[in-house]
Amino acid sequence: MTVDGRVTGEIGAGLLVLLGVAQTDGEAQAEWLADKILDLRIFEDSGGKMNLSLLETGGSLLVVSQFTLYGDTRKGRRPSFDRAARPEQARRLYEHFVERARARGVRVETGVFQAMMKVELTNDGPVTLICESPGDRAAEASGAPAAP
C-alpha cells in the first residue's frame, strides 16, 4: 500500500481487510469482527481443504479503512454514506480493530487513515468474503441501531 508514493504497509501471505465502520458500531463490534476474521478457516490445509485460520498459518493482515463500504446505492445515482461513521468514531474503532488483532499475535500493517491510498493485491485464490458483526443486518432492516 502506498500513500504519496511512499509504502505505508506491506505484507506477504495473509489477508487484505477493507474495514468499514457504521454509525451504530462500537468496540464490541470491532472486537467481534477482528476475532472472526482471525479465526475463519479459509486457508488450505495439506489436503487442499479450506481448514486453517490466519492464526494457524502465521499470516498477516493489511487493514485499510474504507467508509465507502457503507455507500447505499438503492436510490438515485449518487451513493449515500449516511450509515458510515463520522471520521472520529471510525478512526477510534479502526485503531481498536488493529490493536485487537495485534494483541492476538498477528502482524498488522495499515494505511493512513483518510488518505488517498493505492493498494496492490495479488489474490491467491477465489476467496472474497463480507463479514458483518451481529446486529448489522437486523438494524438496517428495522432502522434501529445495532447492538453495542
Residues annotated as catalytic (active site), given as ranges: 66-68
C-alpha cell of residue 17 = 481487510
CA angle 11, 36, 118 (to 5 degrees): 35
Half-sphere exposure of 147 (CA within 13 A, CB side): 8
Task: Spell 58-68 as b/e; 16+ CB within 10 A means b.
Answer: ebbbbbbbbbe
At a CB cut-off of 8 Å and minimum separation 6, what does 148 contact?
26, 28, 29
